[in-house]
A and B are shown apart, each in its own frame.
Chain A
């Protein structure tokens, strides 16, 4: 490998803070808002001009899996606050509360047609489809009201290390290279960008048949006569399938989802998958960006020419950020693995309950996943937390529990813990777990009674449909 020497340099310190959060996606927002609300001076660094990560810039405008199969909401806290603010602006779509968990066939069919994300395990589940643009403003409001100092258009590139201690991070922006110092650093980059430099152990093996082995380049199409398109799909299912097949043959993609948001009557959403070798290899990111765009134009041109209802359609936007699904995963103080998926017992240091909905009968037998605080803690750095999909997990856990609401939950715990640790004058590894759980509960996070043994057995009706096929 050829290298070139970069000389030593003096880098300007732009700011000193208590907590520095790198990355303004769901994990970073959770972390920054929670840290600041708990009274510490917090800086949030975001590469793009808006917050929300995949939920906004990635056009993955969906916050799914908020209830378990029984219809009980397990993810509340900041996620629900985001949704509540969207409700106030009429910018969200979700199943009615009284329908969560319902097994009613008509209702399940209705919601399945409305969105792929609104049903699982023969039941209606609580999933929210969100407006990306309104969300960007809401998230700005949330961090601003909490008193977070945000840097947009700034890329947190490296940690500043001193032995096992992370003193802050280097940022690149139009202001040139600068440093931000902090007492606790939270990696919410999604990809664990700080791990290699901080010497934090991680793994990144992902089998090609996993969901997380794919990148996405989502796009929206407007100007669709959706009634015409849906009628065609309903009345001519064979021709509809045939057209989708032909779209794929022509190098495009088949299948689209209606927006469902208020007044977006002519908007559909194309969500796709592009297999790749690595989501942190810039060459791979470039390749997929090209492939994705080519495919998008082919899809658009094919639909416009052939699909009833798309005659006057136009691409309104391709996602500004590639849809990344997974890359580096920390090997932290505790690593959640496949065997934890088969366990119904909460951890002593549980900081979140995540509904398990994507694994068929397995999910019915193990309806919730408990997340221990330790899987946000690296082994070898003492003032560092991970609050994003790079949390300590093997590929099986990662494949199921790295979505938007999950990352917000990790962030909420990490941000709260760092504030409490600083106020108590202890390291984040020595934070009082009971006090942390009490505080999270106060913030509206549902948590289990960690002292009670769970004796659980599924007794409901046998499973009929799978997640990916329509209900019978």
Chain B
């Protein structure tokens, strides 16, 4: 007998739901965007509730084992990301919970230093090729210990006075007319509601704005990183030096083996070393390429990918163990508790950041973050940073709602490179601060005074350019481009 998919519906009758909290700001989702939002809102004086589906905070950075906070500087080594990201890294540093290139090496093209970082730690994330010189340079990117991160994030939200509820899945919004004023969530305590003056959707996937009926975009072609899902796993007890010498001494044999592994359905690529204290651990970031566009929101597809990825992890493990020197005694230490989602729905906001903004170097009057632009090759060389306006966190139609995280209003070209951890923290910090201002002023989030918001963010240590400042790099005029030029470059 085979299961029969159905398109029917059932009627759920109206019912009374217990209201378990009333707050100023309700943040749904405890990933980088949600943590940034909740801390900023609470520190700005708003009564803030944060609900998180899993038992830990950090989202992809912890539960997804995507424990990298990259692109904190541009390719010249100039740091652009400060604010909560830097505060977090400083705290992790005190506990030995992060590794990153020494400050003196940021931007260096010194071959020995570049090679050291390429080899030491998650290579690509530390190094980019400078299109102006053709030389590789070292970036400021940090790798973090996911377990220490979980602990530190708990401390940070609690110290800020956030009321946190874990193991709770925010599923629907409470809405009156066009205004969101709370959320329904599911937990072991059953269905409950939390009311709030501003709701921040930090679910990563825009679960709240979909429930609120807001307009959104989920266009994303399958050549983009963001269209793929990943299941990260760690292999421990690897003798890396032995592996290195095998690879150096028998490059042909190594290549053959990796081809065979690929044919079997395994993953040939891994990153050496996650943290300085984890010498014998390697990191597999198993992208699951999709024949067609992946919808990270389809539970059937999520299930399929999870099952597939686990099989492939096992194939990889058994093959490496059997055939590759250095891996004889390895074991799979863990697979990520959360599937690595990389993109999906994006709100249609008051402003949508697109590839055009990469070229104009515009400093918006509502700029809330300036981000290093390192991933677009020649385009990055001309335009080392991108400004993000507050308006791309504000839904065009729905009131009482802000979006913090990778679902910010952006074209797929922009979302691909500017939806990762430090970016989401920055969007969160702005959304949380704005939400608190909106509550204090008794106004809708879209009415928040941009100047005041920027002033508050600067006070919190966020790096923002002066309006009117020029950011352009001296260079010959840009060639004509079409959309296909705007893909993330992996070198």
Contact = CB atoms under 8 A, between A and B. Distances in A.
Interface string A126-151: 00000111101100100010000111
A136 B308 CA distance: 12
A133 B334 contact: yes
Interface stretch (A95-103, A308-316, A380-388, A406-414): A308-316
Contacts of B313: 133, 137
Contact of B335 (A8, A136, A153): A136
A196 B190 contact: yes
Interface stretch (B145-153, B387-395, B400-408, B456-464): B145-153
Given A140-B311, A282-B189, A49 B158 contact: no
> How big is the B interface, by class?
35 or more
A93 interface: no
Interface stretch (B15-23, B34-42, B469-477): B15-23
A172 interface: yes
B3 to A, nearest CB: 5
A12 B310 contact: no
B10 A10 contact: yes
Contacts of B298: 174-175
Nearest to B146: A317
B299 A173 contact: yes
B188 A57 contact: no
A317 B4 contact: no
Interface stretch (A26-34, A115-123, A286-294, A361-369): A286-294
A322 B56 CA distance: 10
> How big is the A interface, by class?
35 or more
Interface in A263-318: 263-267, 279-283, 285-286, 289-290, 293-294, 296-297, 301, 312, 314-318
A375 B190 CA distance: 24
B236 interface: yes
A177 B148 contact: no
A434 to B, nearest CB: 25
B6 A5 contact: no
A451 interface: no
A295 to B, nearest CB: 10
B188 A11 contact: no
A172 B171 contact: yes
A301 B296 CA distance: 38
Interface stretch (B135-143, B162-170, B435-443): B162-170
A1 to B, nearest CB: 6
A157 B145 CA distance: 33
Interface string B304-336: 001100110110001000000000011111110
B184 interface: yes
Contact of B167 (A171, A181, A286): A286
Contacts of A12: 7-9
Counting chain A CB atoms within 10 Å of each CB, which of B19, B233, B337 scores highest?
B337
Interface of B: 1-19, 22, 54-56, 63, 95, 145, 147-148, 150-151, 154, 158, 164-169, 171-172, 174, 182, 184, 186-191, 193, 195, 205, 207, 210-211, 231, 233-234, 236-237, 275, 277-281, 296-300, 302-303, 306-307, 310-311, 313-314, 318, 329-335, 337-339
Interface of A: 1-18, 39-41, 43, 48-50, 57, 89, 131-134, 136-137, 140, 144, 149-155, 157-158, 160, 167-168, 170-179, 181, 191, 193, 196-197, 219-220, 222-223, 261-267, 279-283, 285-286, 289-290, 293-294, 296-297, 301, 312, 314-318, 320-322, 327
